[in-house]
Amino acid sequence: MFFRGFSSLLISAPLALHVRAASIGSSSAVVKLSYGSFEGRATGNLLEFFGIPFAAPPVGDLRFAPPVKPRAFKGVRQATAFAPACPQQKFDLDVPGLVIPENVSEDCLYLNVIKPANIPAGKKLPVLFVEFEVGDTSQIVGDTLVNRSITLGEPIVYVTASYRINAFGFLGGKEVKDAGIANAGLLDQRFALEWVQKYVGLFGGDAKKVTIWGISAGGISVGLQMLLNDGNTQGLFHRASMGSGSPGVLPDVLKQQEYFDSLVTDTNCTTARDRLKCLRDAPFDDLMEAINRTPNLFSFQSVRIAWQPMVDGKTIVRDPQISLQTGKYAKIPTIVGTSEDEGTIFSLSTTNLTTNAQFLDYAKSNFFPRISDSDLNALETLYPDDITQGSPFNTGTENAITPQFKRLSALQGDLVFQSPRRSFSQIASKTQPVYGYRFKRAGPAPLGSLHGGDLLEWIGNTTGLIGADAIIYFTRIGNPNASKNSISLLKDAKWPLYGSSVQNPPLFTFVDPLPSVNITFDTDRIEPMKLISKLSFNEIGNRGV
């Protein structure tokens, strides 16, 4: 009963995602794969291919199941429009600016490729594989990044892939464990990475230089991919970047039985001999309605939601924190960072909590049900009933929409985002290059530097393009720093290694006004996060995993 904020984590709530409709370009290109040919389009300096299936439609007997190869076809299919998004769970709260796609389908395992139009024959470009999960993960604009990479003289190939979320991708329970089909959403991501290894060369990409990048749930996905197979990447990727999401403590698959049972009840499958088969046979609309009745990010439970990765003993063999502490993770160059006020947006659903007693009861019942009285007292002290100490941080008495809002925001931000980020950074920086960052540019009141507020910085929609340039250079060379002769502003802003100082780990920090950056240190809230880490780890032991 701890971190459960995965399958619907937002990329950017008050910032609408920039998704442009596909239009027919002035020319086209055809790529022939082993299972069929696809015709993309030329747009300026780019060739774009949208809606390429990387797996068979996960419907019928394949609902909830691991992905399988796409079906072969003859002829040439158009790849000039985005495929439908994977089905999205509805939220209990109306969040202004949040984009939820209307065009959804269970048949959603598709990817997109954007590449420079003029790649010299025989030359292969580094690949940026993106795992964003909001609306349609595949529809995050990549043309700005690829065009910028061309301008820098550091061209890349950009790939995005959708994966199943909520119950379609993360169904739990005994029946699921017995069938060996847990964490299908993570397996979708892995399957797409296998597709990249097999086919990206046909698009001019270098399969030996693949960077995986994600923000929010996508960031957590990246971290989990680094932990699968005890850290053996199987050559699928070679660098990683996690934003606003690192692997935290996960529930055991059997602990998710209550949500499986709720779907069974709400789809009239309670008397079925094979309840899993009944759920697979249930009409899509009935199943979706049942999923929408389960807790989401803007239910009172907030980040303790129903659908997320689970420790199943097969795909995720042990808790991520144990894998990290025992060195079972990929030893590759990594970027990892967060926004300053990660927890604010997820505290909008708990504004009815207004007293110290309610705060403590919520923390115990929702996150730490086994917490001792002494640890609960420590939690009360380290997360004080003082609005000037809460999140948005360093804003005094401002943004206190309720007496406990900023306090809850600080707790949830540390629990789900800051503490896992710090833990990962401290451990991994001993074995590989780790570059840490912090995003402190102000967002809308009362949310501060909110979760996902840095998205536009990374995709190249802000003045200065520092974030975009950093991810391009990282994709190219495994280091976010620009070369001395670069046209990028990065050349004047050194991004140090997190492990360059044990006592004062440096964080490359995005601050106001644009495009300012500086260096801060990962030394804030040390004691509160030590307690959070301890409490989370204790829950693993109490669970017996």
Which positions are annotated as active-site residues?
A: 216, 342, 451
User: Within 13 Å, how many C-alpha atoms sit on residue 96's CB side?
Assistant: 4
Query: Residue 335: which of 165, 464, 213 has the closest Cα?
Result: 213
Element (H, E) at 1: none
Beta strands 125-132 and 205-215 are parallel
Q: How many other C-beta atoms can be found within 10 angstroms of the C-beta atom of residue 245? A: 33
Residues in the chain: 545
Which whole-number Å values give the CA distances from 305 to 4, 221, 263, 271, 314, in the listed order?
5, 16, 15, 27, 22
433: tokens are 């290059």
Task: Tell the residue number behind the tokens 């129903």, with chain if given.
Answer: 306
d(CA 150, CA 466): 15
What residues contact 9, with CB distance under 8 A and at least 6 apart?
A: 133, 134, 216, 217, 220, 244, 245, 297, 451
Q: Please, are residues 49 and 62 in contact by the beta-carbon 8 Å criterion?
A: no
Element (H, E) at 419: helix 419-428
Q: Please, are residues 140 and 215 in contact by the beta-carbon 8 Å criterion?
A: no
Beta strands 517-521 and 506-510 are antiparallel
Query: Residue 113: which of 33, 185, 200 has the closest Cα?
Result: 200
What residues contact 143, with CB distance under 8 A and at least 6 apart?
A: 43, 46, 48, 114
Q: Please, are residues 406 and 383 in contact by the beta-carbon 8 Å criterion?
A: no
Q: Please, are residues 350 and 302 in contact by the beta-carbon 8 Å criterion?
A: yes
For the four alpha carbons of 59, 62, 64 and 69, in that order, the dihedral sign comes to negative
